[in-house]
Amino acid sequence: MTFLILVVLLALFIIADLAIRTLIKNAREKKIKREREAVLQESLSFDFSNEAKTLKRVEVQNAKAKILCVDDEEIILDSFRKILVIDGYSIDTVEKGQEALGLIQKNHYDFVFTDLKMPEMSGEEVCKAVKNIRPDIDVIIITGYASVSSAVECMKYGAMDYLEKPFTEDELLKNTKEFLIKRKHKIDLALKPSVHITHLKENEQEEVCDFAIPGGVFISKGHVWTSVEQPGNVKVGIDDFAKKIIGRIDGIEYPNLGMEVYAGQSLFSIKQGNRKYNFYSPVSGKVIKTNKSLIENLELLDLTTYSKNWICELDSEKLDSELKELKIGRAAVSFFQHEIDGITHKAITELNIKVTEKERIYKDILQNLPEAQAESLASFYFGK
């Protein structure tokens, strides 16, 4: 009976906690919406004619993106402001293409949304000019149904996509979100990978687009790092290259305490769904510790695979001879760069993976491949 009461109380506590969290979340969202509505109303009374005659500007804190909208129809611009500002975007609007070109030279924008059919300067001309002056800005063509083919033509000049009008609020929000995702993905792919020696402080995050190797850490050919803790003891874990090509990690299969291994013998495994990737010991020794706390905080591996995110500790008696077989410093950097080039080449020539920018083709590659191909690739890189 006591147990049943405890279960009921626990269930009530969980329900109450969820209800409170939901109420707090809803209250926060309503507060943010009210603040954005106030900013929208207030900003429309400001005069920005010194920058552009028809410019209206609404800026929100922590904006998802900054958008410049160009259309000769005020009702369209009004819709953009009312809908997108409330959703968390900063919006500038102007009625002429020439004004837009002046603004992009003085301000940062993520997007220019431009109407296709405008007097004086068409959307096609705006698109060409924007991509010439600021190729970093993505252009979206606003078009009526009858002009979709012309909007598609603009993509030849660098436009990312087009938005068909008339549009509903939901359609505008959905499309803008998709444009933002596409932009972030494009930027992510365009960042070329580099390998560098780091000196990270505890819990400091590595740069997302780089491969990191902490100073003083040894790297095995099978992508297991080794750090000498005290004479005879080493901590080991997966390196940054392994994490980036694996992607999501769902679990770790630890070695048994007291188990004795030789260099090159299977030591631990990383789990991803039903898949399991084996990693091999970089040195010989006896397993004296396992980092079981890591299994409860696997998200820490997204910050760094090194330092406190080790997997097990070995007592080794052959470090003098075996550490010579591992990579450190410049040798480790050269090894990483060779592996990056290798997996990029394999992905394109053997796996027929096609992307617009091949530099980031390796990211989460095992997670996205069919099981047989993933196992083959993992065996090639980790089974050394």
Q: What is the pLDDT of residues 55-109, one digit of tens each?
A: 999 888 888 899 999 999 999 999 999 999 889 999 999 999 999 999 998 888 9
Q: Are 110 and 66 in contact (CB under 8 A)?
A: yes
Cα–Cα distance for residue pair 78/168, rounded to 1 Å: 13
Q: How far apart are the first and last CA of the chain?
A: 58
Cα–Cα distance for residue pair 335/66, rounded to 1 Å: 40
**Average pLDDT value over all residues in the chain:** 85
The pLDDT confidence band at residue 356, using thresholds 50, 70 and 90, is very low
Candidate ranges 11-20, 33-42, 54-63, 94-103; pick with highest mean pLDDT: 94-103
pLDDT at res. 50: 80
Mean pLDDT value across residues 271-290: 96
Q: pTM for this one?
A: 0.52
**117 contacts 147 by C-beta, under 8 angstroms:** yes
Q: How many CB atoms lie within 10 A of CB 178?
A: 11
Position 26 pLDDT exceeds 70? no
Query: Which residue, 102, 97, 211, 112, is CA-closest to 159?
Result: 112
Which whole number is the average pLDDT over 283-297?
95
pLDDT (mean) for 302-328 = 93
Other beta carbons within 10 angstroms of residue 244's beta carbon come to 21
The kind and range of the H/E element at 116 are none
- Give the side-chain half-sphere CA count within 13 A for 37: 6
Same-fold call for 41-190 versus 195-382: no
At the second CATH level, the architecture of 195-382 is: Beta Barrel (2.40)
Q: Residues 264, 382: contact at Cβ < 8 Å?
A: no
Q: Please count the other Cβ atoms lying within 10 Å of the Cβ belonging to residue 216.
A: 11
**More reliable by pLDDT, 10 or 93:** 93
In the chain, what percentage of residues exceed pLDDT 70?
A: 81
Q: Is the pLDDT of residue 2 over 90?
A: no
Whether the predicted pLDDT of 359 surpasses 50: no
Q: 41-190 falls under which CATH superfamily? A: Response regulator (3.40.50.2300)
Domain boundaries, the chain: 41-190, 195-382
Neighbour tally for 293: CB within 10 Å:
10
| pLDDT value, residue 174 | 94
List, for residues 100-145, the tens digit of each pLDDT value: 999 998 888 999 999 988 988 999 999 999 998 888 899 999 988 6
In this prediction, residues 4-22 reach a mean pLDDT of 69
